[in-house]
Amino acid sequence: MPAAINYNLGIFPYFPLASGLLTGKYTDGKAPRGSRLSRGDKLAQADLEQLKKLRELAHDIDASKSAIAIAWLALRPQVASVIAGATKPEQIEANAAALDVELTVETLQRLDEIFPSPAKVALF
């Protein structure tokens, strides 16, 4: 993202909901049957720990994990737009809920603690 800022380029995040990890489909550490991540052992313990901490944060601020992720991305000046796939109307509504999420300085600090920089390469 530093290069995007340096060259004044807008970016479109790839997999803003981490292939469903941030939607609540993977709460017990297992991928739902038939999903992409159900093939193989791609969910690392570190990922599950981060998801648990994010779930706690989401509970504390009364927002979904997916809404927090989209709201966080929308705050980045270099992000031109956040495009999250949806196959059901309720998923569109869940994504739109990000418009109502206010990320305070404290919440942003907690997110930085959960997901420290530099970010790791995703497995999905």
CB 62 within 8 A of CB 100: no
If one counts the domains in the chain, the total is: 1
pLDDT digits over 64-82, tens only? Answer: 999 999 999 999 888 998 8
The structure tokens listed for 82 are 């956040």
Which CATH number do you get for residue 14?
A: 3.20.20.100
Kindly state whether residue 96 falls inside one of the protein's structural domains.
yes
Tell whether the model's pLDDT for residue 124 goes beyond 50: no
94 in a domain, yes or no? yes
Identify whether 7 is part of a domain.
yes
Residue 13 has pLDDT above 70, yes or no: yes
* Euclidean distance between CA atoms 59 and 45, whole angstroms: 21
Contact 41, 35 (CB under 8 A): no
More confidently predicted of 38 and 71: 71
77 within a domain of the structure (yes/no): yes
**pLDDT for residue 42 is more than 70:** no
Domain assignment of residue 8, yes or no:
yes
Percent of the chain exceeding pLDDT 90 equals 33
Residue with the larger pLDDT of the pair 32 and 91: 91
Residue 123 maps to a domain: no
Q: Around Cβ 95, how many Cβ atoms within 10 Å?
A: 22
Please report, for residues 42, 99, 122, the alpha-carbon distance to residue 48 in angstroms, rounded to integers and kept in the order given: 11, 26, 13
pLDDT digits (tens, 9 = 90+) for 19-36: 777 777 766 666 667 666
pLDDT > 80? residue 12: yes
Q: Which domain holds residue 89?
A: 2-114
Averaged pLDDT of the chain: 82
Q: Give residue 112's pLDDT band: very low, low, confident or very high (50, 70, 90).
A: very high
Using CA atoms, how far residue 23 sits from 2, 3, 17, 77, 88, in Å, is 27, 29, 7, 24, 13
44 in any annotated domain: yes
